[in-house]
Amino acid sequence: MFEPSARQNQITGQIVDSAVQVHRFLGPGLLESVYEQCLAFELESRALRARRQLALPLTYRELVIEQGFRLDLDVEDEVIVEIKAVERLLPIHEAQLLTYLKFSGRNIGLLINFNVRLLKDGIRRFVQTH
């Protein structure tokens, strides 16, 4: 079983705290792209590198699709963040993040739904073993 490192736990803690700050200021009801941009800004203000809309290649047999997926946020090359602004999270949203983890080789991901009254109800952390 994979155990996240202290650094990975620290990064996810900073992401969650940053998301809470963004949600407190903006509230629910906006577009995902707005939350993504504000969260990236908040993370960068904390000296964390957050790459937005990062292309993730997909290889199928000999075929390489350079932009097979697009990650909302890649934080410090450690944590993938998938941002939603939906009425409720569905199993397909979880499957999407798990797929990103699988094809990126990363182990930790956060699924954050900003369209909730209390953000703690919209955050799910996933730890994947490969």
pLDDT digits (tens, 9 = 90+) for 27-85: 999 999 999 999 999 999 999 999 999 999 998 999 999 988 999 999 999 999 999 99
Task: Collapse the DSSP code of 10 into the 3-class scheme (helix H, G, I; strand E, B; otherwise coil) and give the result.
Answer: helix
Neighbouring CB atoms inside 10 A of 82's CB total 24
pLDDT band (50, 70, 90) for residue 129: confident
Q: Residue 3 pLDDT > 90, yes or no?
A: no
* pTM, full prediction: 0.94
pLDDT given at position 110: 98
4 neighbors 15 (Cβ within 8 angstroms):
no
21 neighbors 45 (Cβ within 8 angstroms):
no
pLDDT given at position 130: 64
